[in-house]
Structure 1
């Protein structure tokens, strides 16, 4: 071990088990004697107001995958930081990629990993704007490669415990109390809660009228609301982020209300649901 004066003063990363960027070739070979399962987070680089970093979706996705990989033998293989985020482009630092690019990168990733002996793939979408892309990607892998792919959210849903957290009475989504709570647990050093501010939403009138039912999780209202809200300025829908919220928070609760306790409970629920799904999948393919 070199003396501290010779080490990069910014280096503070520790080796994480089953995390591909940290692994050597022999370690990957050894992993393949135990498992052929890969989890790939698909995140985003986009504004998260003044209190969360632009890399929130990517970092939180990777960190959740790492936690799952400490419980079961699954390879964590992130390959792309940015996602589809056209509606955030009025905010400095946001990056958006086309659906074609995201799909192509991940298809080539899967083909590479299949060549080495991996067969099963779980795609964790950690950014709402990638939902349709993830669904299509999973189908394309299943249709066009020797691999078997599943969508993380669909896979773990039957194993999640019911959320006992009281539902908000106003819209509370992007960069709101839920995402901020998760971030306080997953990446505490990157959350600047003192800089969080509440916002006032400006929605097209017909979407504003839907809000009470959307907040109450009425299925049709929620489907129609999300089909139209948070879309690029070029669509003319008047629902790009800046057109709805000047702070970048898509919700009317103050993110300062977030708590690490809520985040810990939510992430633990997700990790344990993932473990149960993996155990079931492993059991179903036993010879």
Structure 2
């Protein structure tokens, strides 16, 4: 009878070091071993027809969970939505202001510092939050007792880059790379059979820049990303719906994605973060 009354939708298993699953005694015990927190900053936005609205949030959380199984770091997600004004033409997208995102995370850090946590890694899993994450990390370091770092900056020296020498295509939002990661991190939510050709069209001057951008030429990439993928109200004609009706920002069909590549990409990221955490502990003489 007890089994018959159990929620039929509940399938979640308890994950080590994942704050939403932990009890107060477990957090107290964790603080005896570590004072480090990793906070994913994601988004709730369209990801074409084959990936869910919550792709950035879910993938970010799952990556952090994997890291926390190998090192003593608390995973503390507090906000699903991010800054996504350029996707607003697609139903389901939620976009928050930079001020809101910063305020929520500042108050989160202040709460956790009061609990006894001192070190914070902010793992941004949505490109539109990049500048916000940089500012947030600086504000925490300037205004609180905590020490914060940006995940992408922190892991860079430990990260083995992918071989992109022969890359000839743009592959960004909801494209092949993100679909590969999703096939590994949240396989049951990927509907690969529904993926379609992107059908992307750029303003002519941005299209001319594209070959240099794909080659990672620094100036071209800087100027391209400064103008591309911006809200309709800016008048730049680069919101998602103005560039592609499918919501995929790239040239490649996401059906080219493979689980194997996703596993390789995620494993490299976990290993890089593991290396950074070990170095941080070493430099601060932490034994936990």
Q: Shift of residue 161 of structure 1?
A: 1.1
Look up the SS of the partner of 1:124 in the other structure: strand
Tell me, in whole angstroms, the C-alpha distance in 1 between the residues paired with 2:249 and 2:3. 44
Q: Quickly say closer, same or farther: Cα 1:97–1:201, change in 2 above 3 A.
A: same
1:13 aligns with 2:9: no
Look up the SS of the partner of 1:38 in the other structure: strand
Pairing 1:178-257 to 2, within 5 Å after superposition? 178-257=177-256
Q: Shift of residue 113 of structure 1?
A: 0.1
Q: Shift of residue 136 of structure 1?
A: 0.1
Aligned residues: 286
Q: Shift of residue 219 of structure 1?
A: 0.6
Structure 1 residues 79-99: Cα deviation after superposition (integer angstroms, max 9, x where no partner)? 000000000000000000000
Stretches of structure 2 lacking an aligned partner (at least 5 in a row): none
1:157 aligns with 2:156: yes
Structure 1 residues 227-281: Cα deviation after superposition (integer angstroms, max 9, x where no partner)? 0000000000000000000000001100000000000000000000000000000
Q: Shift of residue 174 of structure 1?
A: 0.3
Structure 1 residues 68-117: Cα deviation after superposition (integer angstroms, max 9, x where no partner)? 00000000000000000000000000000000000000000000000000
Tell me, in whole angstroms, the C-alpha distance in 2 between the residues paired with 1:4 and 1:210. 60
1:141 aligns with 2:140: yes
Look up the SS of the partner of 1:122 in the other structure: strand
**Aligned twin of 1:73:** 72
RMSD: 1.0
1:23 aligns with 2:12: no
Tell me, in whole angstroms, the C-alpha distance in 2 between the residues paired with 1:56 and 1:130. 14
**Aligned twin of 2:37:** 38
Tell me, in whole angstroms, the C-alpha distance in 2 between the residues paired with 1:26 and 1:107. 25
Pairing 1:90-101 to 2, within 5 Å after superposition? 90-101=89-100
Instruction: Return the TM-score normalized by structure 1.
Output: 0.98
Tell me, in whole angstroms, the C-alpha distance in 2 between the residues paired with 1:138 and 1:252. 33
Per mean C-alpha deviation after superposition, the further-off stretch among 22-31 and 167-176 is 167-176
Instruction: Return the TM-score normalized by structure 2.
Output: 0.98
